[in-house]
Amino acid sequence: MNLIENFRIALRALAANKLRSALTMLGIIIGVGSVVALMAIGNGATAGITAQVQGIGSNLLTVMPGRLRQGPNQGGGQAALYYSDYQALAKTITAGVVGIAPAYQAQATVTFETETKSATIIGTTAEYAKLRNYKPALGRFPNASEEAGGSRVTVLGWQAAEDLFGGVSPVGRPIKINGVLFTVVGVIEEQGSSGFGSADDLVMVPLSTGYDKIFGAAATEGGKKKVSNIIMSATSEDVVDSVIVQVERTLRRQHKLAPTKELDFTVLSQAQLLSTLGAITGILTTFLGSIAAISLLVGGIGIMNIMLVSVTERTKEIGLRKAVGAKRSAILMQFLVETLILSLLGGVIGIGLGVGVAALVTATGTVTASVTASSVALAFSFAAAVGLFFGLYPAYRASRLRPIEALRYE
C-alpha cells in the first residue's frame, strides 16, 4: 500500500461526501486566506511607511524635545526645544551638515470660502522644504524676505489643497488659518498616500508669521519661543554619528545640563526611526497574523470533528480492511492522508483567496498589500501542521479499532 494508492482511496472517500468535504475545507480555506491577506496588508503598510520615511532622506536628523527611551521617565527638567537652540546649532555646527531648519507644529482650522478642515500647520523656514525634499507642484515656496518680514503667505500640502479647493489651482487665493487671512503661494508635490503624519496634509507658513499670527501664547515659554523639532541633513551617512555628537554637546551646553545628567532631548536619525517604525509595524503584522491563525486553528478542529465522524461511519470498512490484512500503520496512513488532502488543498485554495483579498484591498487604494513568499509558506505549512495534528487522533482511533468488533458494527 503506497502513498499514491492511499491518495486515491482518500480522494474517493472525500468525493463520496462532496459537500461535507467542501465545508470542512472551508474552515482551512478561510483560515489560510485570512493569514495570507492580513499579513499582506500588514507587510504592505510596513513597506508604505518605510518608503515614506526613506523618501524624506536617509541622512536626515531630527532633534526632538524630551528623551525617547524605554522605561519610566525620570521626571523633571525642561522638556522643550527653543528657537535659541536652533540658533545655537546653526552657529556651532557648520561642517558635516547641508542645512538646518526649525519647525513649530500646531493644529489649526483652515478655511477657504465655505470649505473648512483641520490641518497641521508647520511654521518653518525655506530650508525645511529643501531638507525634506518637498518640491512645489504649483507656485513656489516663501522667499527669504517674506520669511523675515512675517508675510501672511502659505504653502499647502497636496491633499490639503485638494480638500479645500477641489480641482482649482489655489495659488494666489486667500485662505483663513484660525481666522487670519493668508495668501496661498504654492502647493507641494504629492508625497505618497499612506501612513500617518502625511506630508500631503500639511499647511506651511513662515515661522515668524506663525509665531505672530497663529500659534499664540502656547508657543512661548518664559519669553522664549518654542520649536517642535529641529531638522538637519548630514552631508553623508558617514558623518551622521559625528553630527549627532556635536548636536548633543551643543544642546547640553544650551540647556545647562551637567555632564552627569541625562539629556532632555533626542536626536533621531532616519535609521533609528526606521527601526522603531519597523518594530511597531512588525508587532502589528504579527498581531494580525495571530488572529488569522486562530481561525486556522478553528478550521483544524472542524477537520478533526469531521474525521472522527468519518471514522465512526466507516467502522465496518476499517474492519474489512483489517480482516483482509491491513496493518495498523496502513489504516493510520489512509486516514492521515485524507486529512492532509483536506488541509493542503484547503491551504492552496486559501492562498488563492488571500491573494485575491490582498489584490482587492490594493485596488481600493487604502494600502498596497504585498503578499510575500514567506507569509504564503508560513500559512501553508501551518495548514499542513494543523492537518497533521488534528488528523492524527482520528487516524489513530481508526487504526486501533479491533477488526472483530469493527466488522460487527452496524
Partner 1 sequence: MTTMTTMIEVENITKVYQMGDTQVRALDGVDLRIEKGEMTAIMGPSGSGKSTLLAILGCLDVPTSGVYRLDGENAERLSDDQLASVRSRKIGFVFQQFNLLQRTTALENVMMPLSYAGVNGKTRRERAEQALSKVGLDDRMHHRPNELSGGQQQRVAIARALVNDPAIVLADEPTGALDSKTGTEIIRLFQQLHREYGQTVIYVTHDPFIARHTGRVVRMSDGKILSDEKIAEPLEAGAPRPSEVALGHQ
Output 98 or 330, the one with its CB closest to partner 1.
330
Q: With b meaning 16 or more CB within 10 Å and e meaning fewer, what string describes 87-96?
A: ebbbeebeeb
Q: Cell 488543498 appears where? A: 345
The reply on whether position 1 binds partner 1 by CB under 8 A is yes
The reply on whether position 328 binds partner 1 by CB under 8 A is yes
Output 9 or 348, the one with its CB closest to partner 1.
9
Give the binding-site size for partner 1 (rule: CB under 8 A): 22
Output 74 or 329, the one with its CB closest to partner 1.
329
Plot region of 129 (φ>0 → left; ψ -120 to 50 → alpha; else → beta) = alpha
Alpha carbon distance 11, 341 (integer Å)? 8
Output 15 or 258, the one with its CB closest to partner 1.
15
Instruction: Give min distance, CB of 310 to partner 1, in A.
Output: 14
CB atoms near residue 396 (< 10 Å): 15
Output 1 or 355, the one with its CB closest to partner 1.
1
The reply on whether position 317 binds partner 1 by CB under 8 A is yes
The reply on whether position 325 binds partner 1 by CB under 8 A is yes
Q: Which of 68, 271, 323, 385 binds partner 1 (CB under 8 A)?
A: 323
| Phi, psi dihedrals of residue 15, rounded to the nearest 5° | -70, -25
Alpha carbon distance 81, 66 (integer Å)? 9
Instruction: Give min distance, CB of 406 to partner 1, in A.
Output: 10
Q: Which of 3, 324, 363, 373 binds partner 1 (CB under 8 A)?
A: 324
Q: With b meaning 16 or more CB within 10 Å and e meaning fewer, what string describes 194-227?
A: bbeebbbbbbbbbbbbbbbbbbeeebeeeeebbb
Instruction: Give min distance, CB of 1 to partner 1, in A.
Output: 5
Output 84 or 329, the one with its CB closest to partner 1.
329
Stretch of 68-76, 96-104, 205-213, 325-333 lying at the interface with partner 1 (CB under 8 A) = 325-333
Provide the CB-side half-sphere exposure for 388 (13 A, CA): 6
Output 135 or 327, the one with its CB closest to partner 1.
327
CA angle 196, 197, 202 (to 5 degrees): 140
Q: Which of 88, 180, 320, 388 binds partner 1 (CB under 8 A)?
A: 320
Q: Which three cell numbers stand for residue 5?
A: 494508492
Output 148 or 323, the one with its CB closest to partner 1.
323
Instruction: Give min distance, CB of 326 to partner 1, in A.
Output: 5
Output 249 or 408, the one with its CB closest to partner 1.
408
Q: Which of 296, 307, 326, 332 binds partner 1 (CB under 8 A)?
A: 326
CB atoms near residue 193 (< 10 Å): 15
Stretch of 91-99, 117-125, 366-374, 401-409 lying at the interface with partner 1 (CB under 8 A) = 401-409
Alpha carbon distance 80, 67 (integer Å)? 10
| Cα–Cα nearest to 37, from 389, 388, 378, 381 | 378
Instruction: Give min distance, CB of 351 to partner 1, in A.
Output: 30
72 sits in which H/E element: none
Alpha carbon distance 37, 369 (integer Å)? 8
Alpha carbon distance 384, 372 (integer Å)? 19
Stretch of 29-37, 171-179, 288-296, 399-407 lying at the interface with partner 1 (CB under 8 A) = 399-407
CB atoms near residue 144 (< 10 Å): 10
At residue 147, the 3 state secondary structure works out as helix
Q: Of residues 46-105, which lie at the interface with partner 1 (CB under 8 A)?
A: none
Q: Of residues 297-316, which lie at the interface with partner 1 (CB under 8 A)?
A: 316
Stretch of 51-59, 125-133, 274-282, 396-404 lying at the interface with partner 1 (CB under 8 A) = 396-404
Output 5 or 241, the one with its CB closest to partner 1.
5
At residue 208, the 3 state secondary structure works out as helix
The reply on whether position 248 binds partner 1 by CB under 8 A is no
Q: Which residues bind partner 1 (CB under 8 A)?
A: 1, 5, 12-13, 16, 316-317, 320-330, 402-404, 407
